Amino acid sequence: MDTNTKAYLDLAELLKALAHPLRLCIVRGLLQKGGCNVSHMQECLGAPQSTISQHLQKLRAAGIITGTRKGLEVQYQVSDPTVIELIHVLFPDSK
């Protein structure tokens, strides 16, 4: 058995960050759209802005997404190549 504990811990943390239905939906949506802002996510998901912002914070803290400020808005996009591959495996129609 591989004893690279740090690699396992890092992957477990990544999976924990994705292990919420709304966060998984956000990441998949960002990949499908190529990125978007909180207002667009709110319209698509029908969730309160505060809820979406909390989930975005968890995804950002895990290094899964990044945000780029454009005026008053922040455009979010998926930045982790491992997550991109994982989403394509979980949702083959997301390619």
Domain coordinates of the chain in residue numbers?
5-94
Nearest C-alpha neighbor of 47 from the set 80, 25, 69: 25
CA 36 to chain centre: 12
Q: State the Cα–Cα distance between residues 62 and 54, nearest whole angstrom.
A: 13
Residue type, position 37, single letter: N
- Whether domain 5-94 has CATH 3.20.20.100: the reply is no
pLDDT at residue 32 in the model: 93
pLDDT at residue 56 in the model: 97
pLDDT at residue 25 in the model: 95
pLDDT at residue 2 in the model: 63
Mean pLDDT, the chain cut into blocks of 10 residues (95 residues total): 80 95 95 93 92 96 96 95 95 79
Phi (first) and psi of residue 46, to 5 degrees = 65, 25
pLDDT at residue 4 in the model: 81
CA terminus-to-terminus distance, the chain: 33
pTM: 0.89
